[in-house]
Chains A and B, each alone.
Chain A
């Protein structure tokens, strides 16, 4: 079956702009989580959506937001981009209960 699909794979934005990243989970998975990976902070949890509702949230500023659609696809938005937002953004899907989370290949965001 198809894995987790993230688009786009690479993105370059200017400081102050906003960006939207997309994630299509594995078919049947209802939970989508987002993570940020940077060399300094490692892999950090951003937020999780389950059945179109944000169920968990990490310690990130309000500039980071997301949403989930009825087909479980999710989008993540970052407004007023800062240089420090440059990172690999990863999406993971799971059934939402017991079981492992499967990751997409990520979107590499570069803010210049």
Chain B
């Protein structure tokens, strides 16, 4: 039972354009959501998070949007850069907003082309 889903296994975007990565969840108890970026054989790197009491959080080129009614969140990267090429994971946790027990999606591989 995949409680966090990233339905697009891969995404290709031109440098300078917007990258939009999507994530859906089924567990209504999730109240804290995070995005991580990962390179092969390395640990995930935290990008940005959002609490369920908000619908948007922004940090530099990264913005996360949360639609609780649709159980959907998205990560926008503007403008996209070649260094953004990596696998992006959406993660969620339930209860108290802690990030200590995360349920991950299957990841979306982003390729930013020149």
Interface residues of A (CB under 8 A from B): 4, 6, 31, 33, 35, 42-45, 48, 50, 55-56, 58, 88, 90, 92, 94, 96-106, 108
The closest CB in chain B to the CB of A102 belongs to: B46
A-B contact pairs, 30 of them (CB 8 A): A33-B100, A43-B89, A48-B101, A50-B100, A56-B101, A88-B41, A90-B44, A92-B43, A92-B100, A94-B98, A94-B100, A97-B98, A98-B32, A98-B98, A100-B46, A100-B49, A101-B34, A101-B46, A101-B100, A101-B102, A102-B46, A103-B43, A103-B44, A103-B45, A103-B46, A104-B43, A105-B41, A105-B42, A106-B42, A106-B43
CB atoms of B49 and A97 under 8 A apart = no
Contact pattern, B 58-93, Cβ under 8 Å of A = 1, otherwise 0:
000000000000000000000000000000010100
B34 surroundings in chain A (CB, below 8 A)? 100-101
Contact of B43 among A31, A90, A94, A97 (CB under 8 A): A90
Q: Most B CB atoms within 10 A — which of A43, A88, A104? A: A43
* Interface residue B99 (Cβ < 8 Å from any Cβ of A): yes
Interface residues of B (CB under 8 A from A): 32, 34, 36, 41-46, 49, 51, 89, 91, 96-107
Q: For chain A, what secondary structure do more than half of its interface residues adopt (helix, strand, loop), or is it mixed?
A: strand
Beyond A4-B43, A92-B43, A97-B97, 14 additional contacts (C-beta under 8 Å) are A33-B100, A35-B104, A42-B105, A42-B106, A45-B102, A92-B99, A92-B102, A96-B100, A97-B98, A98-B96, A98-B97, A101-B99, A102-B46, A106-B42
Assuming the contacts A94-B99, A96-B98, asked whether A42 and B104 have C-beta atoms less than 8 A apart, the reply is yes
